[in-house]
Homo-oligomer: A and B are copies of this chain.
Amino acid sequence: MVKKINVGLIGYKFMGKAHSHAFKDMSMFFDASAQPVMKAICGRNEEAVKDAAERWGWESYETSWQRIIERDDIDLVDICTGNDSHRDIAIAAAQAGKDILLEKPMAPTLAEAREMLDAVEKAGVKHMINFNYRRCPAIQLAKRLIGEGFVGKIYHVRAVYLQSWIMDPDFPLVWRLKKESAGSGALGDIGAHIIDLARFLVGEFSEVNGFLTTFIKERPILIETTGDLSAKGSQEKGEVTVDDAALFLARFANGAVGTFEATRFANGRKNHEKIEINGSKGSIVFNFERMNELEVFSSEDPDYAQGFKTILVTEEVHPYIKAWWPPGHIIGYEHTFVNQVYELMEALANDRMPEPNFVDGVRCQEVLDAVERSSDTGTWIKI
């Protein structure tokens, strides 16, 4: 008998949509041990959240997040709000004994993230943080290959997350560009993803040295957001208080070294999250813009036949693919969320702690924090 997990989702923008879709579609494709039930979605604008509930298939809606937490018929609270409310909601949910799925980055500050981890550990609830890129089949394949010794001892990692959606100086001051709401800019928003991937694939960071920079220091005051990443601004300008780009060097506990770069000013790069790992026996390259592919090199191939091989990660034997389509029929961005929900349901059904969870969230936040401090001091900061 498949267990039912009643879900209450807080937030109905970009991430709310992606999570809603994942809850809706998961059971259609996966034979999971538990099944999410879309109980309630929550947002402050009643008209908008009601519309979202209908369109996305939620049974009910609420206009205050506290109501979600109070409701007895909710097992799992999914937090897709702005970073600045993550702590309050997560702690309240934990105290109410709810399991939690949380969008990254964990919180605007390391201190808040630690408070949140304390709360869930104290409450003994299950917790997951949605570093969804771990759920690309190609990343799972990379993890498997590295685990099997395919790359050998890791020497190098170079990771970039390149976007360009705010390069226009007239793009307005949305919440992602203000420290009070976003915590940081490119660093926390997209840098967090490559830090998590590096932790997942390479291991723990030991120290970092880097800097944050803001190319456009003033922007039009926001009038309204018009899409996931689009907005209208006024004539008046306000200060950008987060980084446009973050660059840092890293040393890892296992001796590997790396370069990391997160920027919203790489013209032509849309969602170019690329990581390359070089080890004593081989190398691995992943680029999200071609997320169905993994490039691998093995120096154990015959000397006359070595090269980077592009694996189209769409075979039945590849992670998650059996649930999807035949070979060569590629999947997309949203599937990472569906795969994540599947993992979450498996964990909840089997009383296991899901991964990645708040421990990973805090570790990632420690690196973000160290990068910010190293940007202030111009020196290496130990994690």
Contacts and interface: CB of A to CB of B under 8 A. Distances in A.
B333 A271 contact: no
A118 interface: no
A316 B210 CA distance: 34
B25 A308 contact: no
B311 A305 contact: yes
Majority secondary structure, A binding face: mixed
B55 A28 contact: yes
Contact of A331 (B18, B20, B258, B332): B332
Given A24-B24, A141-B304, A309-B308, A257 B247 contact: yes
Interface string A295-310: 0110101011111111
A45 B167 CA distance: 57
A309 B312 contact: no
Contacts of A156: 245, 261, 263, 265-266
B261 A158 contact: yes
Contacts of A309: 301, 305, 307-310
Nearest to A57: B28
A315 B304 contact: yes
Interface size class of A (residues with CB under 8 A): 35 or more
How many copies the complex holds: the figure is 4
Contacts of A271: 314, 326-329
**Among A247, A258, A297, A332, which residue has the most Cβ atoms of chain B within 10 A?**
A332
Given A310-B308, A327-B229, A268 B249 contact: no
A297 B281 CA distance: 20
B263 A268 contact: no
Given A265-B278, A270-B314, A310-B308, A25 B21 contact: yes
Given A291-B330, A379-B378, A316 B20 contact: no
Given A267-B281, A282-B268, A315 B328 contact: no
Interface string A55-71: 11100000000000000
A248 B249 contact: yes
Contacts of A211: 209, 249, 257
Interface string A245-281: 1011100000101110101011111111000001111
Contacts of A378: 209, 379-380
A283 B315 CA distance: 18
A259 B257 contact: no
A85 interface: no
Interface string A212-251: 0101000000000001111000000000000001011100
A101 B294 CA distance: 37
Contacts of A257: 211, 213, 245, 247
B297 A268 contact: yes
Contacts of A263: 155-156, 278
Contacts of A330: 289-291, 330, 332-333
B326 A229 contact: yes
A335 interface: yes
Interface of A: 14, 18, 20-21, 24-25, 27-28, 55-57, 141, 144-145, 151, 155-156, 158, 160, 162-165, 167, 209-211, 213, 215, 227-230, 245, 247-249, 255, 257-259, 261, 263, 265-272, 278-283, 288-292, 294, 296-297, 299, 301, 303-312, 314-318, 322, 325-335, 378-380
Given A294-B307, A307-B309, 6 more contacts: A144-B304, A229-B326, A247-B249, A267-B278, A271-B314, A271-B326
8 contacts: A155-B245, A164-B278, A165-B327, A211-B249, A211-B257, A267-B279, A267-B297, A271-B328
